[in-house]
Amino acid sequence: MNLGIEGKTAIVSAASRGIGRAVAIELAKEGVNMAICARNEAELLKTAHEIESSCSVKVLPIVADLTKADDVKSLVKETVGRFGWVDILVTNAGGPPTGPSLSFNDQDWEDAMALTLLSAVRLCREVIPIMKGRGWGRIVNLVSMAAKQPIENMILSNSIRAAVIGLAKTLSIEVAADNITINSICPGWILTDRLVSIVKKRAESHNRSYESTLADVASSIPIKRCGTPEEVANLAIFLASEKASYITGTTIQVDGGLIKGLL
């Protein structure tokens, strides 16, 4: 299927590894030029180089901490300086810490808000006026199944992801007439560095091996395995495409059937 986005420009935040990296790679295969960001320069440059050497697109790596307002502003400014505009925004960031619900203090909550909610708020605030000016835009938020079904030991994610869905739904209604769509993806258990560290922590706290804990996670999923970053990226690039022109305000899980709710 030709997704109709060749030559467009994207920002994929938090894209040096994991799901963000997979989305950047799949967009590049469609011929999309992009800026990608992360905090670790070496890892970011490696990813940018890998994408540029396998696809004929331009990738602008920008070191940015998504919890910092000035870094988000510079990310968008530098992208526009290089490419002229932004057509596609994929909001992604690292996940907040896990732990017992009552163990988090105010600072932990504020940090998690900055990472998970404010990063998306700030990116949308910078990018939407640019998309409005061009009369076309696609925003895809990478959120979590935690927005649909709380996960054990993840109160920060369970609480704040839902706010991102509220943000996306509200904005999607306001910008629909400008030909801008906004949708959110809720990954289930996807095999990335983050999942490895979550499973290790869970294994330690239950005095079990990493392997048996991971096997338990996989067997709790109706498809009986964890997902791959590419399986999430496949939906992300479709929602970012011309083909998804009548889909907006949705929240779709990519979870192997894990969410038990009907909607």
- Does the protein bind ligand NAD through residue 36 (CB under 6 A)? no
Stretch that binds ligand NAD, among 2-10, 12-20, 120-128, 216-224 (CB under 6 A): 12-20
Determine which residue in the list 70, 193, 211, 230 makes contact with ligand NAD, applying CB under 6 A: 193
Cα within 13 Å of Cα(174), Cβ side = 12
Q: Which residues contact 219 (CB under 8 A, 6 or more apart)?
A: none
- Does the protein bind ligand NAD through residue 66 (CB under 6 A)? yes
Show the binding pattern over residues 119-138: x = contacts ligand NAD (CB under 6 A), - = does not: --------------------
Shortest Å distance, C-beta 257 to ligand NAD: 15
Q: What are the strands, taking DSSP E only, across 33-163?
A: 33-38, 59-63, 88-91, 137-142
Residues 99 and 87: their CA atoms lie apart, in Å, by 37
Q: Is 111 helix (H, G, I), strand (E, B) or coil?
A: helix
Stretch that binds ligand NAD, among 86-94, 131-139, 211-219, 239-247 (CB under 6 A): 86-94
The widest CA-to-CA distance across the chain, in whole angstroms, is 56
Phi, psi of 230, deg, nearest 5: -65, -35
Q: Which is nearer to ligand NAD, 37 or 130 (CB)?
A: 37
Binding positions for ligand NAD, rule: CB under 6 A: 14-20, 37-40, 64-67, 92-95, 115, 142, 144-145, 187, 189-190, 192-195
